[in-house]
Structure 1
């Protein structure tokens, strides 16, 4: 037998047979010579035996690996064995796993057919609920919020399963657009110190507010929106709209917040250093109500990131999804988004997936959920 310069031990390992078996075949060939194997037919027969031994050895190796990794399933029910086979069907042949677990292939495929049918029905029901929640919430929810809403309805399902169904059926929230700079800090008004230093947290309501304004496009021209947010609950506590970006725009939002919330003296009001907020009239109103002014550093949007984030969300979930003909149309839509949806219904990830209103009423979701 030609070994191609390899040792018997090496050749045995390559063929997947024992050293003793290979020694026996070699002695048989040396003893009988051409009389024992006259012609190519006997060599072909020997090669076939070697291939068969290799296949059997591979089968034994696979079954050994299966049992080594999943030996606990030997004492499990047939249904549990079928589930294990399904989870590993891409790693090992189904036939080998069925043999290792002592179950029939026909039984496994019958179970698989039933499971596939039941899963398809469950996915169809789940997809219907996903679509309903998606459309009820202005088509702005991604899989995390939809998963929370499903759990609130008593449906048990995994977040990855929700994400997979949404991806397969083209259900996705609209991406945010970039925002144009609107702050005019080229003025001679005094600038307040940055008291927040990007710490957007508060232990109780009406201790820290953040303010800013943005714009929404209509066919009549720009509509400007100013807001005041409570850092504690992320709730919009004051807002106003105008076709001009003047100090009256931001003053109206501040007045609404003060009238509605009646904050105690010492509240911190943070904004950018734009001329509208730095104006003498605006600052005098803050002082009148015992509110302490705080301002961002020049050109640093991250110093007022909470307000910036709200506007990015508002545009992605409301303004950028519409094409407004008039400013009145835009006003109505923005009002409904802020008061009916954002403050009362929208699940906020920073609040443990509850709405700002629910959070203020003491309905914080457990972080472990």
Structure 2
């Protein structure tokens, strides 16, 4: 049975239903009197109710919210997803995004517990604290930091050393191996130097937060049968996800690599204007 052209199908269906409920007139009789097929009446009555205005407003952003949540590896909460939506032109508040996520049963990762203070030098003689516990930088390559962490695999421990730029939080260099020794640290540092082509002051305390993110958002969600598998997958996550896609609050809500590019472009424009003047 095709669609029947009537001015307001919902009203017509209501009339037929009321005739049956109030006056005990059979549906067939009312349909015949109103000039509509009985099969059309039953088909229309089985239709799901029209969404409310609120439901309609939330339906479109809900699809994008689910997309961005899945793209983040199911780790993003409402603040970062709101930034993704704003970048696409959506006019939606963070509170609305949080409400929609709750309705969809989407929950980002719990933020890692903050340490009371960064790692501090112990009693043994250590290298001088060149940065004096200040872990922010005003430009790229003013300050790098680095640290080491261990990862479980089916073959045993795998150690990761990483080096980061304090300005954008970008992972400049990283290396993985079976031993946590100076050679591993040197390999990570050499990669960072190759990436930047220079050297900077180093500290290790702030890098602990990166390793926490890595473990909570990726390593703890995956298993690695071998060290080789762990190396490949972790390196891919760092280079493709963390540096290029994952939004960072310290980088203006942008991914580290994009943040650096934006700042470099802004400074280049300023330099060009200065030369032109």
Same fold (TM over 0.5): yes
**Could you tell me how far 1:197 is from its partner in structure 2?**
2.5
Structure 1 residues 363, 121: CA separation in 2 closer, same or farther (over 3 Å shift)? Answer: farther
Q: How do 1:330-349 residues align onto structure 2 when only pairs under 5 Å count?
A: 330-349=230-249
Query: In structure 2, what is the Cα distance between the partners aligned to 1:260 and 1:132?
Result: 32
**Could you tell me how far 1:129 is from its partner in structure 2?**
0.6
TM-score by length of 1: 0.53
Query: In structure 1, what is the Cα distance between the partners aligned to 2:67 and 2:58?
Result: 14
Query: In structure 2, what is the Cα distance between the partners aligned to 1:204 and 1:120?
Result: 46
* Partner of residue 67, structure 2: 132
1:316 to 216, 219, 227: 216
Secondary structure of residue in 2 paired with 1:134: helix
Query: In structure 1, what is the Cα distance between the partners aligned to 2:102 and 2:63?
Result: 14
Q: How many residues align?
A: 211
Task: List gaps (5 residues or longer) in structure 1.
Answer: 1-114, 272-303, 365-369
Secondary structure of residue in 1 paired with 2:146: strand
Query: In structure 1, what is the Cα distance between the partners aligned to 2:229 and 2:109?
Result: 21
* Partner of residue 190, structure 2: 255
Query: In structure 1, what is the Cα distance between the partners aligned to 2:133 and 2:111?
Result: 22
**Could you tell me how far 1:176 is from its partner in structure 2?**
5.5
Structure 1 residues 249, 160: CA separation in 2 closer, same or farther (over 3 Å shift)? Answer: same
For the 8 Å contact 1:209–1:269, the answer to whether it is kept is yes
* Partner of residue 201, structure 2: 268
**Could you tell me how far 1:260 is from its partner in structure 2?**
2.1
* Partner of residue 144, structure 1: 79
For the 8 Å contact 1:354–1:363, the answer to whether it is kept is no
**Could you tell me how far 1:354 is from its partner in structure 2?**
0.6
For the 8 Å contact 1:212–1:228, the answer to whether it is kept is yes
Q: How do 1:126-205 residues align onto structure 2 when only pairs under 5 Å count?
A: 126-175=61-110, 191-205=126-140
**Could you tell me how far 1:219 is from its partner in structure 2?**
1.5
Query: In structure 2, what is the Cα distance between the partners aligned to 1:363 and 1:153?
Result: 21
For the 8 Å contact 2:168–2:250, the answer to whether it is kept is no
**Could you tell me how far 1:215 is from its partner in structure 2?**
1.1
Secondary structure of residue in 2 paired with 1:135: helix
Query: In structure 1, what is the Cα distance between the partners aligned to 2:122 and 2:82?
Result: 46
Secondary structure of residue in 2 paired with 1:324: coil
**Could you tell me how far 1:168 is from its partner in structure 2?**
2.2
1:328 to 201, 214, 228: 228
Query: In structure 2, what is the Cα distance between the partners aligned to 1:146 and 1:124?
Result: 16
Q: Deviations over 1:81-108 (max 9, x none)?
A: xxxxxxxxxxxxxxxxxxxxxxxxxxxx
Structure 1 residues 201, 178: CA separation in 2 closer, same or farther (over 3 Å shift)? Answer: closer
TM-score by length of 2: 0.70
Q: Deviations over 1:40-64 (max 9, x none)?
A: xxxxxxxxxxxxxxxxxxxxxxxxx
For the 8 Å contact 2:146–2:202, the answer to whether it is kept is yes
Query: Which segments of structure 1 move beyond 3 Å, counting only runs of 4 or more?
Result: 176-179, 185-188
